[in-house]
């Protein structure tokens, strides 16, 4: 698929803003149904393989603000957003989890979502899994991944390999080719006539009586332009989607309930070399799910240095050993909430997040349990990522570690952002209706991670895609293409 350059005046029957897991699937469904679809992406089209995965260079090209984005709070929580054709699907770990069925049920009840039928969502998930080639690693897991399996087995903790949307050229775990949106749903959309424009930011939707008619844009060269449309799907992710709605003065429950999976990290050093720079572990430990999950992170030497930087004075000596080291995370489902606020005159929204007392305790015990797992898996030394952290070598050190931990001293980060425009008929806590149409508007839809009523406790991309396709199909069934 080729992207075309943006022009000052554009129009489309359906404007899709954003080309990630939500936007790409929406565009594919609507184009196939015969709508004239224009996808507008703020970032650029970066061909897979042209940048090193999980590198600083990739952050320059494919992340918003080079990856330096933060939800303010005590502690502040660093987060990342994809900003390129394909959005987050180009840069995430590629791990696929089905939407949890009991969670769908709970969402339907708690948020009054009409017609959210788990069997329908599961059948869509089946289709998605075919399109993006969800599969297990054909050979043995990588050494950093095996650490999680080994440690969990010794402790009797549930663990499993999480499948990824990858095609493997050979039997090697590192030969995977990610089946991101630029490889799957975006070309599919194009084959049905959808157009993709990159390097174009949507500043605002012009509203009249709950109806959006025109979007104002900023192009790559700084010029401004407009796009006229009949319907608009906002799929910019859980930060950008609510921010755009707020800039467009759309009222309602928007941007008030940001949900994330707060995550703390540690680095473990082993006797043998195990670092795999270009890949992430595929095993997750789910013994304490959904409240608490453990997994592995990208562990390039630069990221190892970053992970050691909180306690550099005592940890720095380890950096020369990065080939024997790998980074792991403990993620929690948070009871805290965040906010996204667009402020007039500021280009980017203000994002805040407040952890609860229970969240903080859970992060501490999670990091400690993860460190225990590392010791069981044979780690010689464990370096937790918080200021004042001790080097953990044995069981007694774990006691010291947990007594010195506080969330405020930790490098807390997150990648799974959602729930800023929750879907459902309960307008006191939902920004969009049961199918993603923004309440009190007639033609503005949200169709991305913003719709998830709560953080799902699993990698959310599968859930985002399945719900986006469900909603797009419902739209196609009720609105006729002008043709």
Partner 1 sequence: MPSASRLRRLDTIVGPFADLLLTADLPQLPDARRAEVVEFVQRRANGVPSFTRFGLTVIALLYRGVMAAPGGRLVARFLASKSIPLLGEYPRLIRSLGYAYVWDRWPDTLPTGAAS
Partner 2 sequence: MGEQFASPAVTVVTGATGWLGQALVHRLLADPSRRRLRLLAQSTSEGRRLESLGNVEVVIGDITKPDTAARLLYGIGADVDVIHTVGIIHPKRTRQFLEINVNGTRNVAEAALDHGVRRLVHVSSNSPFGTNAQTSDSFRATEPYHPYLNYGWSKMEGELAVLDAVTHGLDATIVRPPWFYGPFQPPRQTTFFRLVRAGKFPVVGDGEQRRSMVYIDNLVDGLIAAELTPAAKGRCYWVADARAYTVNEIVATVGRALHDEGFTVKEPSARLPALAGRVAELGDRVVQRLGRCQQQLHVLGEMNHTIACDISATCSELGYEPRVELYEGMRSSIRWCVEQGLEL
Which residues are designated catalytic?
Answer: 416
Q: Are 104 and 458 in contact (CB under 8 A)?
A: no
Work out which of 71, 166, 258, 398 binds partner 2, going by CB under 8 A.
398
Q: Are 440 and 425 in contact (CB under 8 A)?
A: no
Work out which of 224, 347, 358, 393 binds partner 2, going by CB under 8 A.
358
| Phi (first) and psi of residue 359, to 5 degrees | -60, -45
Window of 145-153, 287-295, 306-314, 332-340 that interacts with partner 1 by CB under 8 A: 306-314
* Smallest separation (angstroms) from partner 2 to the CB of 292: 8
The span from the first CA to the last CA of the chain, in angstroms, equals 23
Q: Of 111 and 315, which CB lies nearer to partner 1 in the complex structure?
A: 315
Work out which of 5, 8, 65, 399 binds partner 1, going by CB under 8 A.
65
Q: Of 39 and 148, which CB lies nearer to partner 2 in the complex structure?
A: 148
Q: Does 296 bind partner 2 (CB under 8 A)?
A: no
Q: Does 368 bind partner 2 (CB under 8 A)?
A: yes
Work out which of 123, 316, 400, 442 binds partner 1, going by CB under 8 A.
316
219 binds, among partner 2, partner 1, none (CB under 5 to 8 A by kind): none
> What does the radius of gyration of the chain's CA atoms come to, in whole angstroms?
22
Closest alpha carbon to 106 in 432, 318, 402, 424: 424
* Smallest separation (angstroms) from partner 2 to the CB of 401: 8
Helix or strand run (H / E) with residue 13: strand 9-17
Helix or strand run (H / E) with residue 187: helix 185-191
Window of 55-63, 84-92, 400-408, 474-482 that interacts with partner 2 by CB under 8 A: 400-408
7 SS3 class = coil
316 binds, among partner 1, partner 2, none (CB under 5 to 8 A by kind): partner 1
* Smallest separation (angstroms) from partner 2 to the CB of 294: 13
User: CA-CA distance, 94 to 167, in Å (whole number)?
Assistant: 11
Q: Are 384 and 371 in contact (CB under 8 A)?
A: yes
Work out which of 347, 357, 393, 482 binds partner 1, going by CB under 8 A.
347
Q: Does 133 bind partner 1 (CB under 8 A)?
A: no
Work out which of 313, 344, 396, 428 binds partner 2, going by CB under 8 A.
396
List the x/- string, 402-431, binding to partner 2 by CB under 8 A. Answer: xx----------------------------
Beta bridge partners of 318: none
Q: How many residues does the chain have?
A: 483
Q: Of 172 and 335, which CB lies nearer to partner 2 in the complex structure?
A: 335
27 binds, among partner 1, partner 2, none (CB under 5 to 8 A by kind): none
| 371-390: contacts with partner 2 (CB under 8 A) | 371-372, 376
Work out which of 56, 122, 131, 155 binds partner 2, going by CB under 8 A.
155
> What is 210-277 written as a DSSP string?
TEEEEEEEEETTS-EEEEEEEEEEE-SHHHHHHHHHHHTT--SS-SS-BEE--EEEEEEE-SS----T
Q: Does 80 bind partner 1 (CB under 8 A)?
A: no
User: CA-CA distance, 164 to 473, in Å (whole number)?
Assistant: 25
Which tokens hold the place of 463? 């859930």
Q: Are 284 and 159 in contact (CB under 8 A)?
A: yes
Window of 22-30, 289-297, 405-413, 428-436 that interacts with partner 1 by CB under 8 A: 405-413
17 SS3 class = strand
> What is 27-45 written as a DSSP string?
HHHHHHTT--EEEE-SSB-
Work out which of 10, 15, 331, 362 binds partner 2, going by CB under 8 A.
362
Q: Does 157 bind partner 2 (CB under 8 A)?
A: yes
396 binds, among partner 2, partner 1, none (CB under 5 to 8 A by kind): partner 2
- Helix axes of 395-404 and 357-376: crossing angle, nearest 10 degrees: 160
| Phi (first) and psi of residue 417, to 5 degrees | -105, 135
* Smallest separation (angstroms) from partner 2 to the CB of 396: 6
| 368-387: contacts with partner 1 (CB under 8 A) | 387
Q: Are 332 and 309 in contact (CB under 8 A)?
A: no
Query: Which residues contact residue 208 at a Cβ distance below 8 angstroms, ignoring those fewer than 6 apart?
Result: none
Q: Of 10 and 308, which CB lies nearer to partner 1 in the complex structure?
A: 308
User: Can you tell me which residue has the tokens 């390129």?
Assistant: 84
Q: Are 24 and 85 in contact (CB under 8 A)?
A: no
Q: Of 89 and 334, which CB lies nearer to partner 2 in the complex structure?
A: 334
Q: Of 219 and 361, which CB lies nearer to partner 2 in the complex structure?
A: 361
Which residues contribute to the site for partner 1 (CB under 8 A)?
55-56, 64-66, 68-70, 72, 74, 76, 300-306, 308-310, 312, 316-317, 319-320, 322, 343, 346-350, 387-388, 408-409, 411
Which residues contribute to the site for partner 2 (CB under 8 A)?
155-157, 287-288, 291, 358, 361-362, 364-366, 368-369, 371-372, 376, 395-396, 398-399, 401-403
């Amino acid at each position: 698929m080729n992207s075309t350059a943006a022009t000052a005046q554009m129009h489309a029957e359906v404007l899709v803003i954003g080309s990630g897991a939500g936007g790409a699937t929406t565009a594919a469904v609507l184009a196939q149904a015969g709508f004239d679809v224009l996808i507008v992406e703020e970032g650029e089209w970066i061909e897979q393989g042209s940048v090193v995965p999980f590198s600083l260079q990739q952050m320059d090209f494919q992340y918003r603000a080079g990856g330096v984005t933060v939800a303010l709070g005590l502690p502040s929580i660093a987060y990342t957003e994809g900003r390129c054709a394909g959005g987050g699907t180009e840069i995430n770990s590629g791990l696929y989890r089905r939407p949890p069925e009991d969670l769908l049920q709970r969402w339907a009840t708690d948020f009054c979502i009409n017609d959210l039928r788990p069997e329908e969502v599961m059948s869509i998930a089946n289709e998605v899994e075919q399109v993006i080639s969800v599969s297990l690693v054909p050979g043995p897991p990588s050494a950093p991944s095996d650490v999680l399996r080994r440690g969990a087995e010794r402790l009797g903790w549930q663990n499993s390999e999480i499948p990824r949307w990858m095609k493997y050229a050979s039997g090697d775990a590192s030969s995977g080719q990610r089946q991101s949106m630029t490889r799957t749903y975006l070309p599919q959309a194009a084959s049905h006539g959808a157009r993709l424009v990159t390097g174009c930011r949507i500043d605002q939707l012009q509203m009249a009586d709950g109806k959006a008619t025109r979007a104002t844009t900023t192009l790559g060269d700084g010029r401004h332009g407009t796009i006229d449309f009949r319907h608009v799907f906002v799929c910019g992710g859980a930060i950008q989607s609510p921010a755009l709605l707020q800039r467009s003065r759309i009222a309602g429950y928007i941007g008030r309930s940001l949900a994330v999976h707060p995550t703390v990290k540690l680095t473990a050093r082993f006797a043998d070399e195990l670092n795999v720079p270009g890949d992430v572990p595929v095993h997750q430990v789910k013994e304490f799910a959904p409240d608490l999950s453990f997994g592995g992170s990208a562990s390039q030497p630069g990221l190892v240095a970053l992970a050691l930087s909180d306690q550099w004075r005592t940890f720095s000596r380890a950096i020369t050993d990065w080939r024997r080291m790998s980074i792991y995370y403990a993620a929690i489902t948070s009871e805290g909430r965040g906010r996204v606020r667009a402020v007039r005159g500021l280009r980017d929204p203000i994002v805040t997040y407040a952890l609860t007392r229970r969240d903080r305790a859970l992060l501490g015990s999670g990091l400690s349990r993860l460190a225990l797992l590392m010791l069981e898996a044979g780690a010689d030394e464990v370096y937790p990522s918080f200021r004042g952290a001790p080097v953990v070598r044995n069981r007694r050190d774990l006691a010291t570690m947990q007594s010195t931990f506080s969330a405020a001293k930790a490098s807390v980060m997150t990648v799974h952002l959602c729930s800023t425009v929750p879907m459902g008929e309960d307008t006191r806590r939902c920004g969009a209706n049961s199918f993603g149409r923004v309440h009190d508007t007639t033609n503005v839809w949200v169709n991305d991670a913003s719709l998830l009523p709560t953080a799902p406790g699993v990698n959310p991309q599968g859930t985002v895609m399945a719900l986006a396709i469900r909603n797009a199909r419902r739209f196609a069934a009720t609105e006729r293409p002008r043709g």
